[in-house]
């Protein structure tokens, strides 16, 4: 019921996080997407992840391109600055924003049209630059706002709602991110909240370029038999290689796991990722074998999900550029302007 | 015996070389030597889009009177490129001089009998002295500088001094270069009559002026203006600006304590990403710019519209080259005026600045950041190849120690805590400019959603016609406000009252100054106005109103500034007479004088019917 404004009324006993915020403080405006859209589940997962991690909402900047997915930043984190930029160009805007202020958390939201078609170049270059961000592609294999055309992630042979068969080979953004040097790479499914929320949390804690390809069925145009991005198809072909718990110092999760099935990964900021291995032969620290594994499973018609690759000690663009710790947008004349005396010297050297 | 041009401190020397032969630094040494003699000299690099092998020229205009524009014609050619020999010989003014490598005899038919030929066996001298091939090539250039110094009376100590400065720190190169210099000089003194009719005499005409490239000056303007983020994609003729910014920053912007940078320069994957990064950085409160040329402007269109509509500061340096398409990448034009003024789809108007020389590249470069923050919109600084990539004599750079950056209307956490109402697009004081907040300012107030879609004054999405239209009207109000902030035009009145005016801008300045003196000498009186910015100040419109006819002098085919004047000032097009020079070389005073004289003569012809009594 998107025409109804969200009530401001809040239950007094809503649980609060350590910052004193309720989950409602991380919400945004009411979604105008179709009822049942996978994207709304992703928005809910983002809200949950930020609430659970006790992130101050105003220290997050959310940026997007154009499309259904790119509309979603309006529907979460209402107290964060947002930027709905131009089609396929969110990565460059986010990169610039990140250069200006390295202290904020950057959340880029994009779709398969936005990142795999018009913005493939910007997607690739943001990955290889190591921009410190979370980059989520809400991947439904279809152009929703323009009424159901195939996107570049549509599988070869998949059938559109109008019955057209896609003959183009699909672009796999996860494989590209692996090849291009992203330091945190995951795939998930909007219908699997228990997998998705911890992945978003871990990505938010990661100090480098973190990419999540989230398959998010389009209820209007790509949820029919013959589609390879429908709820049913993804559920049937989902092969999760691991399950993740994220511990940020305080919340020790105690559970019993069979020996050898749990791996602890300590990230740069001290957060601990507890990975429950579901597939014995999958190593999320080996880029090359991850690529091979993904290709093999894809060949077998399976969609591999989970934390696919993580570098616990990543560098980011600011390290490469050797920028000062203080955000560049805080510097004033004192720090930036060399002043008249330096200019006199320069003049003298130019005669 | 042909006549011999006799000129002191007033002639044009042109070096014809092969690209990649190491001639550039020798030619620059020549130009600097003239300057060190105290005589104004203006070099122009005429180069191909090529790394090695194609012809390249270096023209030095020497002018005691201080004319820095291209003059047209050549008095002395240094012909070092057999490929262009015939054309180079043809370009010499009657009575002028041809300097060439006489090692290999040339048939008489390849010369002219109305010029003076100076042969120096450069290759022979070189081969006798050096065995290494690269040395032979490089020192040949220095040998001709030595020969020229003797021929036109450049004090040899001046050249030696410059060589010492050039190789400071690589001291072992100094002596061999000086040796080569003397090799040329000694040969000429021994075998030829020195000096020739073209001569230098020590002067004080240079004064305290400095000598630098517009691209470097603009980059320095960015450093002084507080730019911290630069995103760019290599393109001639703007690449040297981004590179100069990086090198200025390395000198002035590295934190002494930590060794870390107070700047970020990023070479993006293309121009779309460059402008995207600039917009992202500026949205987040940093001062950011990109440097590009015409093709880059074409690629940036969509983002420029976003910055205009979402009201994000951005500074774009466009070092213009010959268009359209790839056009003439290494030649100069002023042909991006309209593409910048109305960049992007939908109704847009953008602020343009037109620097005349490196000095203004610096001041306008720095001012652009204040303007961008004040007006929250893209600001274009329109250089061109002529001022961007050539060293030019100009007034020393100055900076007021008390100057503070104008960050425009920004609401802080304190403002928000004090209860000030924040609406991103609420025009609280009627100037069309609204308050913004930087991301991350306040935990519960001041956040807003930036978008390229239509929205209400509180930045909420809307497709309501009236709200959209109000916003578009406010943007016009803001553009009106911009007139108060942009640099004012500069007018110059003729010696006698006149109904004839001329409007010009940018790099046309020096040629225009000279043209006015020439016109004045022939009794033609023209008032002028140098436009320095768009939106046009009312003075410009008044200037047109005060004259019967106004020449608009430009370096493009279609009279782009004229079109802008007609459109924005509601001016009768018949009043504005275009004077257009756009073949790729810089406009000259000779061209302007000829065009204005001819067009005035035509308009002064009495109509036939009235002439019959």
pLDDT tier at A111, thresholds 50, 70, 90: very high
Over residues B546-580, the pLDDT tens digits come to: 999 999 999 999 999 999 999 999 999 999 999 99
C-alpha dihedral sign at B415, B419, B420, B422: positive
Q: What CA–CA distance (Å, rounded) separates B380 from B350?
A: 8
Mutation site for A-interface testing, chosen from B440, B458, B461, B463 by largest number of A Cβ within 10 Å: B440
Mark whether B379 and B245 lie in a shared domain: yes
Whether residue B292 is contained in a domain is answered as yes
Distance between CA atoms of residues A157 and A52, nearest Å:
40
Eight-state DSSP code of residue A329? G
Euclidean distance between CA atoms B334 and B339, whole angstroms: 11
Which residues in chain B touch residue A63, judged by CB atoms under 8 angstroms apart?
280
pLDDT at A263: 83
Q: Which among A83, A96, A336 has CB closest to B226?
A: A336
Q: Say how far residue A205 (Cα) sits from the centre of its chain.
A: 12
Domain range annotation of chain A? 23-334
Can you say whether residue B285 is alpha, beta or left, with left for phi > 0 and alpha for psi between -120 and 50 degrees? left
Q: Do B261 and A323 touch (CB under 8 A)?
A: yes
Mutate to test the interface with A, among B228, B299, B311 (most CBs of A within 10 A): B228
**A chain contacts of residue B166, beta-carbon cutoff 8 Å:** none
| Interface contact A332-B399, CB threshold 8 A | no
pLDDT digits (tens, 9 = 90+) for A193-214: 999 999 999 999 999 999 999 9
- Per-residue pLDDT tens digits for B94-142: 999 999 999 998 899 999 999 999 999 999 999 999 999 988 989 999 9
Nearest to B290 by CA among B328, B330, B317: B317
What's the fold here for domain A23-334?
Answer: Rossmann fold (3.40.50)
Which bin fits B393, alpha (ψ -120 to 50), beta or left (φ > 0)?
beta
Determine whether the interchain pair B280/A96 forms a contact, defined as Cβ–Cβ distance below 8 Å: yes
Whether residues B119 and B188 share a domain: the answer is yes
Of B252, B285, B440, the CB nearest to A342: B252
Q: State which of B438, B461, B485 marks the end of a domain.
A: B485
A60 has which bridge partners? A105
Check whether residue B508 and residue B458 sit in a common domain.
no
Q: Could you tell me the pLDDT band of residue A273, with boundaries at 50, 70 and 90?
A: confident
Buried b (16+ CB within 10 A) or exposed e, B159-177: bbebbeebbeeeeeebebb
* Residues of A in Cβ contact (< 8 Å) with B32: none
d(CA B373, CA B426): 17
- State how far residue A351 is from chain B, nearest Cα, in angstroms: 5
B253 located within any domain? yes
- For residues B311 and B441, membership in a common domain is answered with no
Q: Write the CATH number for B545.
A: 3.40.50.920
pLDDT of residue B486: 98
- Cα–Cα distance, A255 to B594 (Å, whole number): 92
The three-state secondary structure class of A27 is: strand
Q: Which residues of chain B have pLDDT under 70?
A: 605-613
Catalogue the long-range contacts made by B601-609 (C-beta closer than 8 Å, 24 or more residues apart).
Answer: B603/B549
The C-alpha angle with vertex B290 and arms to B286 and B295, in degrees rounded to 5, equals 155
Give the chain A residue nearest B273 (alpha carbons). Answer: A92
Alpha-carbon gap: B277 to the closest alpha carbon of chain A (Å): 4
Inter-chain touch B285–A336, beta carbons under 8 Å:
no
What's chain A's average pLDDT? 92
Does residue A4 register a pLDDT over 80? no
Name the helix (H) or strand (E) containing A273: strand A272-277
Q: How far is the C-alpha of A100 from the C-alpha of A92, rounded, in Å?
A: 12
For residue A37, the cross-strand partners are none
Q: Kindly give, in sequence order, each residue whose CB lies less than 8 Å from that of residue B3, ignoring residues fewer than 6 positions away.
A: B94, B95, B114
How high is the pLDDT of residue A1? Answer: 40
Here the tokens at position A245 are 């718990």
User: Could you say which DSSP state residue A107 is in?
Assistant: E
Smallest CA-to-CA distance from B313 within B424, B431, B449, B408 is with B408
* Calpha distance B246→B252 (Å, rounded): 10
Please check whether residues B221 and B363 belong to one and the same domain. yes
Exposure string over B581-606, b if 16+ CB within 10 A, otherwise e: bbebbbbbbbbbbebbeebbeeeeee
CA distance linking residue B456 with residue B448, whole number of Å? 12
Chain A residue with CA closest to B283: the answer is A97
Pairwise CB contact (< 8 Å): B443 & A57 = yes
Whole-angstrom Cα distance, residue B27 to residue B168? 19
Residue of B nearest to A80 (CA): B447
State the best of B270, B284, B438 to mutate against chain A, taking most chain A CBs within 10 Å.
B284
* Banded pLDDT at A2 (limits 50, 70, 90): very low
Beta strands in B325-455 (DSSP E): 351-353, 378-384, 391-394, 449-451
The residue count for chain A:
351
Residue B576's domain comprises 490-604
Rounded to the nearest 5°, which phi and psi values hold at B44?
-135, 125
Which pLDDT score is estimated for B464?
A: 97
Residue B428: partners with Cβ closer than 8 Å, 6 or more residues away: B434, B435
Q: Is B204 exposed, middle or buried (0-12, 13-18, 19+ CB in 10 A)?
A: exposed
Which of B485, B507, B525 terminates a domain? The answer is B485
Q: What is the CA radius of gyration of chain A?
A: 21
Do B494 and B467 have their domain in common? no
Compute the nearest-CA separation of B186 from chain A (Å).
28
Secondary structure of residue B39 in the 3-state scheme: coil
Distance in Å, alpha carbon of A340 to nearest chain B alpha carbon:
5
| Residue A257 in this model has a pLDDT that exceeds 60 | no
Last residue of a domain, one of B485, B504, B521: B485
Give the pLDDT score at B21: 86
Looking at the structure, do residues B440 and B497 belong to the same domain, yes or no?
A: no
* Maximum CA extent, chain B: 89
Q: Which letter does DSSP use for residue B488 in this model?
A: P
Preceding omega of A285 cis (within 30 degrees of 0): no
- DSSP 8-state symbol, B437: -
Residue B158: closest CA among B334, B39, B286 = B39
Q: Do B443 and A321 touch (CB under 8 A)?
A: no
Q: pTM of the predicted model, to two decimals?
A: 0.96
| pLDDT tens track for B336-350 | 999 999 999 999 999
pLDDT of the residue at B503: 98
| Residues B20, B134 within the same domain | yes
Closest-CA residue of A relative to B284 is A97
Tokens of B132: 């290494």
Contact A189, A174 (CB under 8 A): no
| Phi (first) and psi of residue B411, to 5 degrees | -90, 130
Q: Is B454 helix (H, G, I), strand (E, B) or coil?
A: coil
Distance of residue A241 Cα from the nearest chain B Cα, in angstroms: 34
Task: Give domain status of residue B610, yes or no.
Answer: no
> pLDDT exceeding 70 applies to what percent of chain A?
95
Shortest CA distance from A61: residue in chain B: B439
Q: Are A144 and A220 in contact (CB under 8 A)?
A: yes
Q: What are phi and psi of B485, to 5 degrees?
A: -105, -25
What residue in B sits closest to A320 (Cα-Cα)?
A: B264
Residues A235-263 have a mean pLDDT of 74
Neighbours of A206 (CB within 10 A): 27
Answer yes or no: do B189 and B94 share one domain.
Answer: yes
pLDDT over 80 at A260, yes or no: no
Q: Which residue is closest to B211 within chain A, CA to CA?
A: A350
User: How confident is the model at residue A287, as a pLDDT?
Assistant: 96
Contact B97, B115 (CB under 8 A): yes
Q: Nearest chain B residue to A64 by CA: give it.
A: B451
What pLDDT digit, counting tens, does each position of B292-332 carry? 999 999 999 999 999 999 999 999 999 999 999 999 999 99
Residue B233 inside a domain? The answer is yes
The whole-number pLDDT of residue A44 equals 97
B478 shares its domain with B500: no
Is B524 found in the same domain as B600?
A: yes
Percent of chain B with pLDDT over 70: 99
Q: What pLDDT digit, counting tens, does each position of A301-317 carry? A: 999 999 999 999 999 99
Give the confidence band of A5 by pLDDT, cuts at 50, 70, 90: low
Which chain B residues contact residue A89 at CB under 8 A? 272-273, 276, 302-303
Residue A274 pLDDT greater than 90, yes or no: no
The answer to whether A125 contacts B396, with C-beta atoms less than 8 Å apart, is no
- What count of CB pairs under 8 Å joins A to B? 222
CA–CA separation, A29 and A43 (whole Å): 11
Q: Is B559 among the domain residues?
A: yes
Query: Does a structural domain hold residue B95?
Result: yes
């Amino acid at each position: 019921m998107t025409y109804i404004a969200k009530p401001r009324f809040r239950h007094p006993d809503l649980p609060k996080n350590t910052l004193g915020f309720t989950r409602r403080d991380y919400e945004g405006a009411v979604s105008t997407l179709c009822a049942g859209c996978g994207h709304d589940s992703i928005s809910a997962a983002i809200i949950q992840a930020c609430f659970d991690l006790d992130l101050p909402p105003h220290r997050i900047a959310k940026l997007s391109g154009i499309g259904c997915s790119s509309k979603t930043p309006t529907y979460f984190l209402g107290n964060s600055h947002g930027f709905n930029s131009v089609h396929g160009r969110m990565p460059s805007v986010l990169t610039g924003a990140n250069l200006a202020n390295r202290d904020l958390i950057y959340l880029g939201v994009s779709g398969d049209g936005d990142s795999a078609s018009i913005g493939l170049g910007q997607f690739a270059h943001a990955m290889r630059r190591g921009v410190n961000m979370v980059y989520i592609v809400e991947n439904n294999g279809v152009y929703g706002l323009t009424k159901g055309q195939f996107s570049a992630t549509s599988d070869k042979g998949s059938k559109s709602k109008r019955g057209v068969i896609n003959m183009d080979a699909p672009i796999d953004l996860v494989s590209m991110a692996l090849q291009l040097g992203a330091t945190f790479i995951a795939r998930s499914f909007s219908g699997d909240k228990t997998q998705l929320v911890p992945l978003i949390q871990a990505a938010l804690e990661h100090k480098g370029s973190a990419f999540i390809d989230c398959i998010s069925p389009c209820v209007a145009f790509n949820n029919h038999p013959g589609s390879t991005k429908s709820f049913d198809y993804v559920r049937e072909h989902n092969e999760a290689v691991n399950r993740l718990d994220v511990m940020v110092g305080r919340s020790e999760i105690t559970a019993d796991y069979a020996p050898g099935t749990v791996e602890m990964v300590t990230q740069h900021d001290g957060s601990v990722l507890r990975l429950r291995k579901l597939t014995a032969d999958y190593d999320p620290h080996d880029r090359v074998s991850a690529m091979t594994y993904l290709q093999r499973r894809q060949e077998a018609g399976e969609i591999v999900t989970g934390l696919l690759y993580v570098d616990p000690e990543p560098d980011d663009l600011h390290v490469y550029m050797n920028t000062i710790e203080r955000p560049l947008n805080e510097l004033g004349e004192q720090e930036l302007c060399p002043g008249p005396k330096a200019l006199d010297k320069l003049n003298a050297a130019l005669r | 015996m042909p006549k011999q041009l006799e000129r002191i401190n007033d002639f044009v020397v042109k070096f014809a070389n092969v690209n990649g032969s190491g001639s550039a630094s020798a030619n620059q040494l020549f130009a600097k030597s003239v300057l060190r003699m105290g005589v104004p000299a203006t070099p122009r690099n005429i180069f191909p889009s090529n790394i090695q092998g194609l012809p390249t020229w270096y023209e030095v205009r020497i002018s005691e009177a201080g004319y820095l524009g291209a003059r047209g014609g050549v008095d002395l050619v240094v012909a070092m490129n057999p490929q262009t020999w015939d054309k180079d010989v043809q370009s010499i003014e009657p009575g002028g001089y041809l300097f060439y490598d006489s090692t290999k005899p040339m048939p008489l038919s390849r010369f002219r009998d109305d010029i003076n030929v100076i042969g120096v066996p450069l290759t022979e001298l070189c081969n006798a002295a050096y065995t290494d091939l690269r040395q032979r090539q490089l020192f040949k250039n220095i040998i001709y500088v030595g020969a020229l110094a003797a021929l036109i009376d450049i004090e040899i100590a001046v050249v030696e001094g410059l060589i010492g400065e050039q190789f400071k720190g690589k001291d072992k190169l100094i002596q061999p270069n000086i040796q080569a210099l003397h090799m040329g000089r000694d040969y000429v003194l021994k075998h030829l009559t020195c000096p020739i009719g073209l001569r230098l005499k020590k002067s004080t005409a240079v004064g305290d002026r400095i000598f630098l490239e517009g691209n470097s000056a603009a980059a320095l303007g960015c450093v002084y203006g507080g730019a911290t983020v630069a995103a760019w994609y290599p393109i001639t003729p703007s690449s040297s600006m981004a590179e100069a910014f990086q090198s200025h920053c390395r000198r002035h912007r590295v934190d002494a304590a930590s060794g870390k940078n107070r700047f970020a320069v990023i070479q993006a994957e293309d121009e779309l990403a460059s402008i995207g990064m600039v917009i992202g950085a500026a949205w987040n409160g940093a001062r950011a710019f990109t440097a590009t040329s015409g093709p880059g402007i074409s690629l940036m269109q969509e983002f420029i519209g976003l910055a205009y509509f979402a009201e994000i500061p951005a500074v774009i340096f466009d070092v213009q080259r010959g268009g359209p398409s790839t056009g003439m990448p290494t030649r100069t034009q002023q042909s991006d005026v309209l593409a910048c003024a109305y960049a992007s789809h939908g109704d847009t108007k953008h602020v343009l600045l037109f620097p005349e020389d490196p000095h203004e590249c610096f001041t306008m470069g720095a001012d652009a950041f204040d303007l961008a923050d004040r007006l929250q919109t893209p600001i274009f600084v329109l250089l061109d190849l002529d001022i961007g990539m050539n060293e030019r004599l100009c007034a020393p750079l100055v900076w007021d120690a008390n100057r503070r950056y104008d960050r425009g209307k920004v609401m802080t956490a304190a403002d928000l805590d004090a209860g000030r109402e924040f609406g991103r697009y609420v025009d609280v004081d009627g100037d069309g400019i609204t308050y913004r907040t930087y991301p991350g300012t306040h935990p519960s107030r001041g956040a807003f959603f930036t978008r390229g879609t239509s929205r209400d004054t509180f930045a909420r999405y809307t497709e309501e016609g009236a709200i959209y239209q109000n916003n578009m009207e406010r943007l016009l109000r803001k553009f009106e406000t911009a007139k108060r902030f942009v640099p004012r035009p500069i007018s110059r009145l003729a010696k006698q009252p006149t109904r004839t005016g001329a409007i010009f801008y940018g790099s046309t300045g020096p040629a225009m100054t000279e043209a006015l003196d020439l016109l004045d000498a022939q009794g033609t009186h023209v008032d002028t106005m140098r436009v320095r910015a768009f939106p046009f100040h009312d003075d410009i419109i008044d200037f047109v109103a005060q004259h019967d006819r106004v020449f608009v002098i430009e370096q493009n085919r279609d009279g782009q500034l004229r079109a802008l004047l007609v459109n924005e000032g509601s001016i009768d097009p018949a009043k504005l007479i275009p004077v257009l020079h756009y073949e790729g070389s810089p406009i000259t005073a000779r061209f302007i004088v000829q065009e204005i004289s001819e067009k005035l003569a035509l308009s002064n012809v009495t109509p036939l019917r009235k002439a019959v009594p």
